[in-house]
Structure 1
Amino acid sequence: MEQPNLSYIHSMSGGDKAFEQKLIGIIKSEFPEEKKVYFDNIEAKNFKLTAENVHKLKHKISILGLEKSYGVAVNYENNLIDGQTEGRTDFESILQIMTDFLKTL
């Protein structure tokens, strides 16, 4: 499984360390709540809201340089829209990898 990185954030910042830290701070503060809402909605089998949660989380997946994982999230989101949970295990593994990575920052 691919690992998160800060390459995209570095490329966006143009070397502005304050900007990088601000963006990382935003991700670190928003991600846990977005993840919690995702789990609440999937457990409630509210697939429409879960798809919306996945859609929001995709942006953080992309920002953390997880290109293949972004594709997994897109497929999972589409499955949820169709009322199916295929891809859930892979998506939730990505969330855990992101959680672990953010703890190191």
Structure 2
Amino acid sequence: MRTHDILCVADGWVYRIDGVDVAQFPSWHLALTAAARTAEAESRTGMPVALRYGAADGQMKDIQTRWKKGPDALGGSHMPEPVHASMPMRPAVRIQP
């Protein structure tokens, strides 16, 4: 099974495939979009995939999705629909002038 992981890092969110950093994003939304598109494309070829995020407790948690169906499945504003209502959030950091 191929794993697609999203982890919080100092400068944003890193996207990893099978433990190898693929890209870094400034927001959870952008990292999730990239990971979901790739994971969905691979799942359509029959490859088993796991889409996960690194939780605050250090454990990897599954992101359960219902892939969009149809001819435009990978186009436009595709986003997986999270089954879990809450997504991991980074604490807000304020920079003092």
**TM bucket, shorter chain:** 0.3 to 0.5
Q: Which has the higher strand share?
A: 2
Q: Which has the higher helix share?
A: 1
User: What TM-score do you get using the length of structure 1 for normalisation?
Assistant: 0.33
